[in-house]
Amino acid sequence: MRKGMMVGKGKKGYHNVIPTDKRVHSMSSKGIKQPQRASPIMRVKELTPRQEMNIKYENYIINSISSDNYDEDPKTSKEKLQFLKDRFINEYWNNNPQAQRLGEQNAFKEWIQGLPSSFNIEFTNYDILKLAKEMGSLPQNATDKQEDRVLENYWNFMANKTFQAFKKYNIR
């Protein structure tokens, strides 16, 4: 900080309020390197259990996209998600006023319940519960009530997670 700018300070016009270390300045001006302060340790932010679960589901969704019965061969996550969205739009959404009345995400849920060949996700109760336990969204010792809740919500949940991935990868 500077104080007293051009007020009775002679030729300098100001003086430093915070004194400088003259030894450091004189040594560095002579080309002598000063020891640098150690950089702070980069801390890797640990993920919360929910964040870990979201990443697992995103990876599961991307790995469940199949182009086997199509002429396309998407490689990257973004290409696979775009392929899935295009299949949905072309096979279900376009020319389907009933689907359009439901809204895009609900229509997508309806579409995946029909088990499209481009999206190979679990569909039996046993496999859905097994998946939920592997992903961490259901405890290993889940009650019947918890299991029923997962089964009732599964298709909405998968549609929601897929649309989150669409948003993350900017899929339109």
- Residue-wise pLDDT tens digits, 46-58: 989 899 999 999 9
Tell whether the model's pLDDT for residue 171 goes beyond 70: yes
Spatial separation of the C-alpha atoms in residues 38 and 130, rounded to whole Å: 48
- If asked whether residues 64 and 148 sit together in one domain, one would say yes
Q: What is the pLDDT of residues 79-113, one digit of tens each?
A: 999 999 999 999 999 989 999 999 999 999 999 99
- If asked whether residues 53 and 28 sit together in one domain, one would say no
- If asked whether residues 109 and 148 sit together in one domain, one would say yes
Reported confidence tier of residue 1, pLDDT bands at 50, 70, 90: very low
Spatial separation of the C-alpha atoms in residues 1 and 17, rounded to whole Å: 6
- If asked whether residues 106 and 158 sit together in one domain, one would say yes
Whole-structure pTM value: 0.73
What pLDDT sits at residue 54? 94
Number of domains in the chain: 2
Q: Is residue 115 part of a domain?
A: yes
- If asked whether residues 67 and 16 sit together in one domain, one would say no
Tell whether the model's pLDDT for residue 15 goes beyond 60: no
Spatial separation of the C-alpha atoms in residues 169 and 88, rounded to whole Å: 17
What pLDDT sits at residue 123? 97
**In the structure, how many helices (H) and strands (E) does the chain have?**
7, 2
- If asked whether residues 62 and 147 sit together in one domain, one would say yes
Spatial separation of the C-alpha atoms in residues 80 and 75, rounded to whole Å: 7
- If asked whether residues 96 and 158 sit together in one domain, one would say yes
Cβ neighbour number for residue 93 with a 10 Å cutoff: 17
Q: Is residue 38 part of a domain?
A: no
- If asked whether residues 108 and 143 sit together in one domain, one would say yes
- If asked whether residues 72 and 134 sit together in one domain, one would say yes
- If asked whether residues 154 and 69 sit together in one domain, one would say yes
Q: Is residue 41 part of a domain?
A: no
Q: How many angstroms separate the Cα of 4 from the Cα of each of 18, 20, 66, 131, 167?
A: 13, 17, 73, 71, 56
Q: Is residue 42 part of a domain?
A: no
Q: What is the pLDDT of residues 102-151, one digit of tens each?
A: 999 999 999 999 999 999 999 999 999 999 999 999 999 999 999 999 99
Which residue segment(s) compose the domain that 5 sits in? 1-32
Reported confidence tier of residue 44, pLDDT bands at 50, 70, 90: confident
Q: Is residue 14 part of a domain?
A: yes
- If asked whether residues 8 and 70 sit together in one domain, one would say no
- If asked whether residues 154 and 81 sit together in one domain, one would say yes
